[in-house]
Amino acid sequence: MPVAAKSARMRYGWRMSSVSPRSPETPTSSVPAARRARKKSKTRADLLAAGTALFASRGFDETTTNDIAEAADVSQRTLFRHFATKEALLYGDMDEALDELRAGLAGRPSGEPVFTSLRRSLVGLAGNFEAHREGRLLQARLAAEYPSVSAYSRATVQLSWERAIIEGLAERLGEDPMLDPRPEIIAGATMSAVRIATRQWVASGGRADFVALVDAAMAVIPHLGELDLEMVRDSP
């Protein structure tokens, strides 16, 4: 990783993932570990399914963590081992989208213009929304209706996307975003484009092409500087 990007992560307080060496597992230890992992994955999936169904039928505030735990046939204690809050459960599948965004940016050709790489990565990520249409629509509708969901979406989900974009752009530019403002400015504009595209998509009931909406919104960003010229031309 470039020194600038590493420095940025340290200054912003972002955690860097690392894989520590593991000793080879014996066959007797790997079988129980694999079984526990499958059970944990199934419990998480059951909680996500139960929460989604209840949020869709009752509403967010109207659904309690106890309701979700009972529907998934687990205790509330188990629920909270997987999800710290109801909001975290609602957006529990967003880690997949975040990983796709990071991988998309990292996988773009090194000689490609930076904004082109970002735009194509976001358009590719929009396919995740199309693939999970009902769940993404539910998340967006609940964010529009319930303040706590909106706050979580902005402060946790969207912030994590923005940080991933800043980090990815800083790496591609070889710059420290604490010194070079471009990664953060572009990331902020990008998230605004995603938000307006999402609102348009939700307003259409999910019938509009979300990929096209994101692409169209992203296409506006490079032309924002032209507004100054238009204001000069329009001034008396």
Residue 110 carries which side chain, given as an amino acid letter?
Answer: S
The Cα–Cα gap between 214 and 194 comes to 6
pLDDT above 50: residue 232: no
Render pLDDT for 48-95 as a digit per residue (tens, 0 to 9). 999 999 999 999 999 999 999 999 999 999 999 999 999 999 999 998
**Domains annotated on the chain, with CATH:** 35-84 (1.10.10.60), 91-222 (1.10.357.10)
Kindly state the DSSP code that residue 180 receives in the 8-state scheme.
-
Model pTM? 0.78
Average pLDDT, the chain: 86
Q: Which residues contact 221 (CB under 8 A, 6 or more apart)?
A: 115, 186, 189, 190, 193
pLDDT at 217: 94
**Nearest-5° Cα angle at 141, 139 to 143:** 70
Instruction: Tell which wins on pLDDT, 221 or 27.
Output: 221
CB 65 within 8 A of CB 74: no
CB 135 within 8 A of CB 96: no
pLDDT at 229: 55
> What is the 3-state composition of the chain as percent helix, strand, coil, each rounded to the nearest 5?
75, 0, 25
Q: Which residues contact 4 (CB under 8 A, 6 or more apart)?
A: 170, 171, 173, 174, 175, 176
Render pLDDT for 111-163 as a digit per residue (tens, 0 to 9). 899 999 999 998 888 878 888 889 999 999 999 999 999 999 999 999 999 99
Show the beta-strand stretches assigned E in the chain.
none
pLDDT at 227: 72
Q: Which residues contact 53 (CB under 8 A, 6 or more apart)?
A: 71
The Cα–Cα gap between 12 and 7 comes to 9
pLDDT above 50: residue 21: no
Q: By three-state DSSP, how is residue 128 classified?
A: helix
pLDDT above 80: residue 7: no
CA 9 to chain centre: 18
Given CA atoms 162, 163, 167, 168 in this order, what sign does their dihedral have? negative
Residue 16 carries which side chain, given as an amino acid letter?
Answer: M
CA 94 to chain centre: 5
pLDDT at 126: 81
Phi-psi region for residue 71, left (φ > 0), alpha (ψ -120 to 50) or beta? Answer: alpha
pLDDT above 60: residue 235: no
Token pair 């019938």 in the structure block, residue:
207
pLDDT at 88: 97
